[in-house]
Amino acid sequence: MKLLEWVNIKPVESLKGKDLLTLFDYSTEEVKELLELAIDLKFLTKEEKCPPLLAGKTLGMIFEKHSTRTRISFEVGMQQLGGHGMFMHSRDLQIGRGESIPDTAKVLSGYLDGIMIRANSHEMVEELAEHASIPVINGLTDLFHPCQALADLLTLQEVKGGLAGKKLAYIGDGNNVAHSLAIAAAHMGMHIHIASPREYEPVEWISEKISKLAITNGGSYAVTSNPVEAVKSADCIYTDVWTSMGQEQEAEARLAAFEQFQVNDHLVAHAKSDYVFLHCLPAHREEEVTASVIDGPNSYVFQQAENRLHAQKAVLASLL
């Protein structure tokens, strides 16, 4: 079957050759086009007719952190699009022995068609992208997780349809997931409410940019320390673990700080009856969320996890 026969498959042309470091760098129209492409690619995958848009292409995947969903979804995504994903742990590369980031970026640019990196520092990923001549995709940093946010939007769009004007409540740590989720929702004109303990709120400069983006698109953005206020009449409730990788030494303090921020039956009773529950996984049942919620009828966490694959295929097809 020739590529011309996939008449509806149109990678986002304006993103060709670009990086994906944060969704702040993409226009609202580009985010919407990526979601449309992801829906098309998901349908064709289910029909076993996914087009080999990336035949002959190789994605290098650098990991400083452990991963289940990110590694497997990117590797399978490249395979389904006809390309190849190459796993590389940072400790196995010369970068793990002190080779400079600019040198690594230039060397990998001569071998690969794109780089996906799951890193500790966002600044490191920015430096890698600055010196690479091929697209760099942020698979997670301390500040942003844009690929997760695209999967989140895709899931909400499948379940709820139009997203403009919908209320999204994020409960818990104002971390990388919260940042990117809120940026993505702001592109859609949603009303975003983040409830976090005061010392764990989203980064101030990121919140300021999200607020401006949301208002521009007809939505709104608010940060509170009151989970009930955030969840009231919400269309979607989202949470994440209270202690992320690299924060293990803070676990005891975090458990105490987030004690009143558990997503449970009492809290979700304040949302709309048909609310959608999302979690980026892995989840700690009976900690940030009870089993009754995450395993209940309003939970779409496994559809959300699968959508990492399809959202990322849209990114890969467009950038590579």
Q: Which residue numbers are catalytic?
A: 118, 145, 148, 240, 280, 308
CB 6 within 8 A of CB 41: no
For residue 246, which phi and psi values (nearest 5 degrees)?
A: 90, -5
CB 153 within 8 A of CB 189: no
CA angle 295, 36, 42 (to 5 degrees): 55
Q: For residues 100 and 121, what is the distance between their CA atoms, to the nearest angstrom?
A: 15
Cα four-point dihedral sign 112, 310, 69, 262: positive
Q: For residues 139 and 63, what is the distance between their CA atoms, to the nearest angstrom?
A: 9
Burial of 221 (0-12, 13-18, 19+ CB in 10 A): buried
* DSSP-based three-state secondary structure for 18: coil
Question: Which one, of 183, 133, 184, lies nearest residue 156 by Cα?
Answer: 184
Chain-centroid distance, C-alpha 271: 24
Chain-centroid distance, C-alpha 158: 16
CB neighbour burial string for 118-132, b if at least 16 within 10 angstroms, e if fewer = bbeebebbbbbbebb
CB 183 within 8 A of CB 207: no
For helices 122-131 and 101-111, give the axis angle rounded to 10 degrees: 50
CB 172 within 8 A of CB 242: yes
